[in-house]
Amino acid sequence: MMSDIWDFLSKNLFGNRRKFFMAVVTVGMMLLIPLPAPLLDALMAINLVLALLILLVAINKRASVFFSIFPLILLALTVFNLALNVFSSKLILTQGSGFNGHMIRIFSFFMVGSGDTEGLVLGLVIFVVIITVQAVVIIKCTTHIAEAATGFALDALPEKQVAIKAGYSSRRITEEESIALENELQQELNFYRAMGGSSRFISGNVKVGILLIAANILGGIIIGTVIHGEPISQATGLYIPFAIGSGLLSLFPALLVSTATGIAVIQSVSSGAFREDVSARSSPAAQLIILAIRFAEKQAKDFSVPAKSVEAKSPKRAAEEMPPIIPLDPLSLELGYSLIPLVDREKGAELLERISRIRREIGLELGLVFSGMRVIDNIRLKSSEYCFKIQGMDVGRGKLRLGHCLCINPGGGKDELGGEKTLDPSFGLPALWVSEDKRDEAERLGYTVVDPPSIIATHLTEIIKRHAPEILDRQKTQSILDALEKDYPAVVVEAQKILTLGEIQKVLQALLREQVSIRNMVVILEALADYGQTAKTAKNMPFLIENVRQALGRQICLQYASDDRILRVLTLSQSLEQNILDSSLETFSGIVSAMDSPARAAWIMALSRSIKAVQDQAWHPVILCSEAARFLVKSSTEREIPELAVLSVPEMVSDIIVKAVGEVKIEEKKRRKNHET
């Protein structure tokens, strides 16, 4: 019943602008037009009932019902209460002993009694106590709680927004749920902002009410003694009870509304209503309160389920909601607190959109499509730090300075720009942090200028390329095969008959490890179907990988060839290549290079010199060797020179011009000297 009345008022009065406007105009006219005492009685009764209704609704309904209209209700009731004060004061002072307002007379008799001296003093004392409790305790505490809650809500807003965006990015919630949560968060924030000032309406109402009561007493005594010629005792006995009754009818509804305000603000941090929160504690005293409230609402039948059952079921429900295993995120980005604005769409941040574009670009370039990346804040990080993780493990991190740009000097000359020295987190190049206002100057000096979102985007791209084999698990491999089987069922079925899912995954990981795109899966599966059985019989996975690479020969050549279709390569001297082949050793994990340390050091040193000469010409370092040596050359240089591309002669295609730009060789004297050492 209480809920029905509240919903009726919300929809038909507070929710209807025209009706609410008419009500406000009517209240304003009460300040100017004299009205009869019976109407005053009716309006005071309505004021009291409304205040009691608001208190009961605050106890029984969830805090969210107040978010949109409760501050408006406070303002409307404050104006209504002040209008009643002015209205009643006017009637009391003008009519005197002829005043026939029954509500005020009843309340004055309740407080003062017959009107003798003892009753007047007692009534005044009780009246002062009520004012003190309301003004000093309830209103002051409610105002302080509202202001503090507003501050805490504003401080927690960025973290809540990031949590919602992270939930949407990780697909734990849908777009509609994300929008609903953001709207609810904004509604809550608006409520706190409004309540921070609206709670002062009641405080002002009490202060004005006290002044009007004092004016009623003083004005009544002056009118009674000076104008009507009454003795002061008679004027005092007449006007003080009226003033106390009028003040009580004004302050008692304000007391109820201020209490409801405190409950609304306090329980706004709770997920349920005040009644439900008290019930959950299973306190006997709390149960008496609940019984009283429900008896007043004539809903005692809803109390048939004891509160202990709630406690008994809570652990079971929590156990049911807890998953048997909490999986790690395949790929995640963690941000320090000061970097949260980078993912705040409301402030125009584009980092999340850039991440989506990177997913598409990686899919087109490497053929690897990964699911959404989780973006969260991490208080363990420094405020300006970010961190990439794969399966919960740290794979890269960096620091940003918002409001600054990262300037990289590609020429390696003197740093004429000035600024804070640092390293580019993606490639480890020397760089400078400069303020945004120096961006144009840095570009004129030839620096490569990068803003913070672009730094994270570039770093993410490199992280994915570098760790693509780790991202490609069996589940993603199966998803690729399932998607391909719709259009190419024959080759998919044949390849899976010969090779297991894990063996197909290892081949794809080997290609990604050397930055070879797996987008052309049909050609890869054709090669796996052709050479898979031979590789399994010989237990030689490198053989299978080499044949897949040869099937992708044109793609690999074009990846490193220039626009004029010239592939510039470094070759190995015959003796060096033979030494590498002779160092091969077959182990349980496969074929590895077992070159001794001095020889290997000389080989890496000679290779590094040749690579530097090629890089000075702005060419990508590419080694061309025999098919037998390719796997050993790559595995022996992967740790020191991971960016080195190693191709074999069978991977070359006829329409690509291969041009040798250098030969890697170890001088015999130096090799013998290193060996003797």
Q: Does 299 score more than 50 pLDDT?
A: no
Kindly report the backbone phi and psi dihedral angles of residue 393, in degrees, each rounded to the nearest multiple of 5, phi listed first: -105, 140
What confidence tens digit (pLDDT) does each residue in 616-665 have? 888 999 999 999 999 999 988 988 898 899 999 999 999 999 999 999 98
The more confidently predicted of residues 371 and 491 is: 491
pLDDT class of 307 with cuts at 50, 70, 90: very low
Which residue is associated with the tokens 């991190």?
A: 397
Of 76-90, 134-148, 384-398, 460-474, the one with minimum mean pLDDT is 134-148
pLDDT at 550: 96
Q: Does 205 score more than 90 pLDDT?
A: no
pLDDT at 467: 92
Rounded CA gap, 181 and 505, in Å? 40
pLDDT at 554: 95
What is the side-by-side strand order in the sheet with 622-625? 645-648, 622-625, 566-572, 657-664
The more confidently predicted of residues 48 and 322 is: 48
Q: Does 176 score more than 60 pLDDT?
A: yes
Strands 448-450 and 404-408: antiparallel
Which residue is associated with the tokens 């620096």?
A: 447
Rounded CA gap, 532 and 371, in Å? 30
Of 301-305, 341-345, 530-534, 605-609, the one with minimum mean pLDDT is 301-305
Record the tokens describing residue 323, joined without a space. 């998953």
Record the tokens describing residue 78, joined without a space. 């404050």
Amino acid at 347: K
Q: Does 303 score more than 60 pLDDT?
A: no
Q: Kindly state the DSSP code that residue 14 receives in the 8-state scheme.
A: I
Which residue is associated with the tokens 């760790």?
A: 467
Residues near 42 by beta carbon (within 8 Å), at least 6 away in sequence:
none
Measure the CA dihedral 603/606/608/609, to 10°: 180
Closest CA to 103 of 94, 119, 91: 91
Exposed/middle/buried for residue 211 (C-beta within 10 Å: 0-12, 13-18, 19+): exposed
DSSP of 355-391: HHHHHHHHHHHHS----PPEEEE-TTS-TTEEEEEET
Of the spans 298-302, 407-411, 423-427, which averages the highest pLDDT? 423-427
Closest CA to 573 of 495, 633, 643: 633
Rounded CA gap, 66 and 57, in Å? 10
Of 560-569, 586-595, 639-648, the one with minimum mean pLDDT is 586-595
pLDDT at 1: 47
Of the spans 107-116, 179-188, 217-226, which averages the highest pLDDT? 217-226
pLDDT class of 198 with cuts at 50, 70, 90: low
- Reduced to 3 states (helix: H, G, I; strand: E, B; else coil), residue 392 is coil
- Could you tell me how far CA 272 lies from the centroid of its own chain? 23
pLDDT class of 62 with cuts at 50, 70, 90: low
Mean pLDDT, range 491-511, rounded to an integer: 95
pLDDT at 106: 79
Record the tokens describing residue 417, joined without a space. 């720009």
List the helix and strand counts (H, then E) for the chain: 26, 14
In sequence order, the β-bridge partners of residue 335 are 377, 386
What is the longest distance spanned by two Cα atoms in the chain?
A: 133
CA within 13 Å, CB half, 42: 5
Of 9-23, 114-128, 384-398, the one with minimum mean pLDDT is 9-23
pLDDT at 34: 67
Query: Percent of the chain at pLDDT above 90?
Result: 30
Q: Kindly state the DSSP code that residue 63 receives in the 8-state scheme.
A: G
Of the spans 6-10, 445-449, 473-477, 582-586, which averages the highest pLDDT? 473-477
The more confidently predicted of residues 186 and 500 is: 500
Rounded CA gap, 365 and 516, in Å? 9
pLDDT at 676: 53
pLDDT at 27: 66
E strands present in 418-509: 420-423, 430-435, 448-450
pLDDT at 6: 47
End-to-end CA distance of the chain: 98
Q: Can you list the domains of the chain with their CATH numbers?
A: 2-272 (no CATH), 275-325 (no CATH), 332-467 (3.40.30.60), 472-551 (1.10.8.540), 559-677 (3.40.50.12790)
pLDDT at 311: 38
Q: Does 213 score more than 60 pLDDT?
A: yes
The Cα-based distances of 85 to 215, 252, 449, 621 in angstroms read 11, 13, 69, 90
Closest CA to 607 of 573, 650, 560: 573
pLDDT at 312: 37
